[in-house]
Structure 1
Amino acid sequence: MRAPVVPPVRVALARTVGTLPRDPGRLAYEPKFDGHRMVLFRGAGDEVALQARSSRLVTAAFPDLAAAALALPEGTVLDGEVVVWTGGRTDFAAVQGRAAATPGRAPALARRLPASYAAFDVLAADGVDLRPRPYARRRERLVDLLDALGPPLQAVPMTTDPDTARDWFDTLPGIGVEGLVVKRLDEAYKGGARAWRKLRHTDTRDAVVVGFTGPAQRPAALVLVLPDDDTPVVSSPLTPPLRARAGAVLRTLPAGEGGTATAVGLGEVAYRSVPPALEVEVAQGTTRHTVTTVLRLKEGGGGGG
């Protein structure tokens, strides 16, 4: 792939804050969509690669976005969020279903659950690595690249007005916006660093169940995928009532071979995989490591099919 930035790349990250940062003339605010982080690479000819946050290539799972990326100039690299809209709001379970699709099932899922790409940064354009440039310059180039294209590739909204950002924060949760990302206008793109800031509406998040440990009838813990990160995480041990409720759903789903994932305090543990048909609400707290606690099962199934 002939481009100044090639996969895999380390993505820029955000640290959580409790209040809206205000620094007139220095900050940019963007809505944070409830989706899957993805870096899009437009190479030479008909080359396109799609990379998840974990560095895994997921090009085959999103043939609709790969086809749309061909409209971009060669040598373009974008960072953004994949979302699927159902019923007028983003549907994270549907995104996870798309991401988990085999190459054989991906085209049919793309027709049934078309994906959109909400781009919030440009890492390269015109054969030039733009990561060292300030965000304000990168934002201008991003808008130039995408304004003429339209869906499914679009730039996320951005404002430098904190009052407008507060209005977004207060009014957009109903469509699946989980909060705001705040960036300094003069800052370079810092892969792997938590230089951005993220303000969420609550301390809880939705997650999709992709596996379990223990018996399906009474699982000891759930293996989850959270928005913005495709790496499975193992929940803390379930309470007895949650084990019973989760087991009632899990025993109706076909269990696959699974794999291993990291559990806090235990290291790598084996799990059985299931289709992304169950959503849960979780809380995340940190001691030395991030602990993910399942609070409740959500009604209804996922959109992944």
Structure 2
Amino acid sequence: MTRPSETVRPAAEAAPLAPMEAKLVSELPEGDGWQFEPKWDGFRAVVRRDRDRVEIFSKSGKPLGRYFPEVAAMLADLGPRHFLLDGELILPIGGRLSFDALQARLHPAGSRIARLARETPAQLMLFDLLALGRRDLRQRPLAERREALERFHEAEAVPDLLLSPCTRDRDRAVGWLERSGGALDGVIAKRRDQPYRPGERAMLKVKQRRTADCVVGGVRYEEGGEAIASLLLGLYDEEGLLDHVGFVSGLSRAQKTALVATVAPLSGGVGFTGKAPGGPSRWNAGRETPWVPLAPQLVAEILYDQVTGGRFRHGTHFLRWRPDKDPRQCTFEQLAPPIAPSQLGFAG
């Protein structure tokens, strides 16, 4: 008999569910009771079906269904008429996941969306089943939800509906990071005895440590010019042009002050010869910030997480100077795009 607390209409709830999130940690946890899964580079998606109505929501609760009509159609063709799923929209192109291609879908023109859906169809990677039929599973432990998810996925057997691999073996999860060569975004750790906790950072995540050697093609000064606010980073493209790819801003006060003397002899150099900074962007909140070009001689090793559109998606972390590195060796070839699940070989 179904418990009264489990008899719900989850697919008909008015507000989108806030997905459970993860806290960033430096190492995967040890001990029993953990389940480890790859962290995919895509759009987090909460999927809800209520009879003929299919809704796909982003992590922030915005509807995504119109941008991914092929995924919505696939979900509408599944057998169960009511379900609530947690997963990731991913888009493999040429054996690699393309975040750029996902972003290209967020376009107002329906004709363009339809064309992209045909040419580069997205996939849905599942990692949790929160409700099926009229049974709400959110208060059930992850171990039980995972078994239900595996049965759900096996029963449907749809090519673009994927099941995220998982393991309880910490050494195997560490091996995923080591063998992926920087192409995997990270690993998520979940307690198997834990219910689903919407909107809470109740999981743990270790992100892939990716480094790159970049040319410092310019700087931005703090007001007054007595300290450096940020280093502007560049990489050489296939044509030998230095493209602006991101910035380092999390420097200590001592570093910011000392850098003024370091960059002074290089000020007024050629700077970026390809794509250059400046102009309104999401990085400067729509304001153009003055910057000073430098002769391309300084090489910095930086820590980054992800790359989108030929740029580091977020600010980077300065690791060290590389005086032993020829600036011309700092090319885009260093960056490892995320590999599609079929290419990673998770077995073993």
User: TM-score normalised to the size of structure 1?
Assistant: 0.69
Q: Would the alpha carbon gap of residues 75 and 95 (structure 1) be closer, same or farther in structure 2, given more than 3 Å must change?
A: same
Q: 2:96 aligns with which of 80, 84, 89?
A: 89
Specify the alignment match of 2:309 in structure 1.
Answer: 278
Measure the CA separation in 2 of the matches of 1:102 and 1:271. Answer: 27
1:21–1:127 CA distance, 2 compared to 1 (3 A): same
In the TM superposition, residue 280 of structure 1 has moved relative to its aligned partner by 1.1
CA distance 1:91–1:262, shift in 2 (3 Å): closer
Does residue 157 (structure 1) correspond to residue 165 (structure 2)? The answer is yes
Tell me whether 1:18 sits opposite 2:26 in the alignment: yes
1:208-248 CA distance string (max 9 Å, x none) = xxxxxxxxxxxx9xxxxxxxxxxxxxx888x999x957855
Is 1:48 the counterpart of 2:79? The answer is no
Q: Distance in 1 between matches of 2:94 and 2:172?
A: 26
Q: Which residue of 1 aligns with 2:235?
A: none
1:59 corresponding residue in structure 2: 65
Cα deviations across residues 255-274 of structure 1 (Å, max 9, x unaligned)?
9xx9xx797xxxxx4579xx
Identical counterparts, % of pairs: 31
Deviation at 1:100, TM superposition (A): 3.7
Matched, 1:3 2:30: no
C-alpha spacing 1:204/1:142, structure 2 compared with 1 (3 Å):
farther
Amino acid paired to 1:169 = L
* Equivalences for residues 219-258 of structure 1 within 5 A: 248=276
1:133 is the counterpart of 2:164: no
Cα deviation code 1:27-52 (max 9, x no counterpart): 000011111111111111x2111101
Q: For structure 1, which runs of at least 5 residues remain unmatched after alignment?
A: 206-219, 221-234, 264-268, 286-295
State the Cα deviation string for residues 112-153 of structure 1 (Å, max 9, x = none): 111011111112111122111111111111111112323211
Which whole-Å CA distance do the structure 2 matches of 1:204 and 1:103 have between them?
Answer: 39
Q: Structure 1 residues 262, 8: CA separation in 2 closer, same or farther (over 3 Å shift)?
A: farther
CA distance in 1, matches of 2:36, 2:46: 20
Aligned partners of 2:211, 2:48: CA distance in 1, in Å?
A: 32
Does the CA-based 8 Å contact 1:147-1:154 persist in structure 2? no
Q: 1:30-75 CA deviation, whole Å, 9 max, x = no partner? A: 011111111111111x211110111110111001100110114122
Q: Return the offset for 1:19.
A: 1.1
In 2, Cα distance between equivalents of 1:80 and 1:246: 38
1:103 to partner: Cα distance: 2.4
Unaligned 5+ segments in structure 2 are 1-8, 213-229, 231-246, 250-262, 289-307, 318-329, 338-348
- Secondary structure class of the residue paired with 2:91: strand
Q: Give 1:177 deviation, angstroms.
A: 2.0
C-alpha distance in 2, partners of 1:180/1:129?
27
Q: CA RMSD in A?
A: 3.8
Query: Secondary structure of the equivalent of 2:102?
Result: helix
Query: Residue 88 of structure 2 aligns to a residue in which SS?
Result: strand
Query: Counterpart in 2 of 1:185?
Result: 192
Q: Does residue 39 of structure 1 match 2:46?
A: yes
Counting strand residues as a fraction of each chain, which structure ranks higher?
A: 1
**Contact 2:85/2:128 (CA < 8 Å) preserved in 1?**
yes
Answer whether contact 1:36 1:83 (CA < 8 A) is retained.
yes
Residue in structure 2 matched with residue 290 of structure 1 by the alignment: none
> C-alpha separation between the residues in 1 aligned to 2:86 and 2:50?
15
Q: Of the candidates 29, 35, 39, which is equivalent to residue 28 of structure 1?
A: 35
Aligned residues: 248
